[in-house]
Amino acid sequence: MDAISLIVRSIFVDNMIFAYYLGMCSYLAVSKNVKTAVGLGFAVTFVLMLTVPLNYMLENYVLKAGALEWLGESFKDIDLSVFSLLIFIAIIASTVQVVEMVIERFSPGLYTSLGIFLPLIAVNCAILGGSLFMQQRAFPNIGIATAYGFGSGIGWLLAIVGLAAIRERLQYSNVPKPLKGLGITFIIVALMGVAFMSFSGIDI
């Protein structure tokens, strides 16, 4: 039950895009059409689902203060949390590499349409943000952590598909010249964010 409410929360209330503005760069760059947006959204969800639990295990069995206790009494006082950033980003970069190879093997079409953005997932703030929030919130077990990764990913997918759909429609509207392209996209994202804020404060 906890897991389900956490998923719903992280999709709507704590949406990666609208509540924390994570993963904005690729969000703005890849949202020109719905098809690629869906592809990138699923790739992000998948990577989040892998990296959050992986980093959760590292955090709790290696990095946290006293986490190395399972090695023996003498390791009890070791606190490696200074290295968490380095370790997290290394795990993320290598996971992305693996995902890239898997997609290339099984779905060449998706691979070419994602192009440069697949390797860029490694530097997508949403992915590292997921791991850092996981560390900050100290989830009780790995199932909850996975659920959090999944929910955040789906929230991100929802947001990018929504924006892509609106931008496809926008082709036909008459926007003031200096606002064309980037400017109007920012305003749309802001309005979507205001809409998503109506979810905040809901207790699930």
Partner 1 sequence: MALLNSKTKAVLLGPLNKNNPVIVQVLGICSALAVTSKLEPSVVMTIAVVVVAGFGNVVISMLRNTIPNRIRIIVQLVVVAALVTIVSEVLKAYLYDVNKQLSVFVGLIVTNCILMGRLEAFALGNGPWPSFLDGVGNGLGYGWILIVVGFFRELLGSGTLFDIPVIPQALYDIGYENNGLMILPPMAMIVIAGIIWVHRYRDKELQEETN
Q: Which of 36, 44, 41, 45 is nearest to 168 (CA)?
A: 36
**Nearer residue to partner 1 within complex by CB, 23 or 53:** 23
Q: Return the biggest CA–CA distance within the chain.
A: 69
- Kindly state whether residue 124 participates in binding partner 1, applying the rule CB under 8 A: yes
Q: Nearest distance from residue 203's CB to partner 1, in Å?
A: 19
Bin 23: left if φ > 0, else alpha if -120 < ψ < 50, else beta: left
**Nearer residue to partner 1 within complex by CB, 19 or 78:** 19
> Cα dihedral angle (120, 47, 91, 141), rounded to 10 degrees?
150
User: By the 8 A CB rule, do 41 and 31 touch?
Assistant: no
- Kindly state whether residue 19 participates in binding partner 1, applying the rule CB under 8 A: yes
- Where helices occur in the chain by DSSP H, the ranges are 2-8, 16-20, 24-29, 34-58, 84-106, 108-114, 117-120, 125-137, 142-170, 182-197
Give the phi and the psi of residue 165 in degrees, each rounded to 5.
-65, -45
Q: Which residue among 85, 98, 102, 202 contacts partner 1 (CB under 8 A)? A: 85
- Residues between 34 and 73 with contacts to partner 1, criterion CB under 8 A: none
**Nearer residue to partner 1 within complex by CB, 74 or 101:** 101
Q: Nearest distance from residue 22's CB to partner 1, in Å?
A: 5
- Kindly state whether residue 180 participates in binding partner 1, applying the rule CB under 8 A: yes
Structure tokens at 93: 């970069």
- Name residue 204's amino acid: I
- Kindly state whether residue 18 participates in binding partner 1, applying the rule CB under 8 A: yes
- Range in contact with partner 1 (rule: CB under 8 A) among 35-43, 61-69, 144-152, 184-192: 184-192
- Kindly state whether residue 93 participates in binding partner 1, applying the rule CB under 8 A: yes
Show the binding pattern over residues 153-172: x = contacts partner 1 (CB under 8 A), - = does not.
Answer: --------------x--xx-
- Name residue 101's amino acid: M
Contact positions vs partner 1 (CB under 8 A) = 18-25, 28-29, 82-83, 85-86, 89-90, 93, 119, 122-125, 127-129, 132-133, 136, 167, 170-171, 173, 175-184, 186-187, 189-191, 193-194, 197
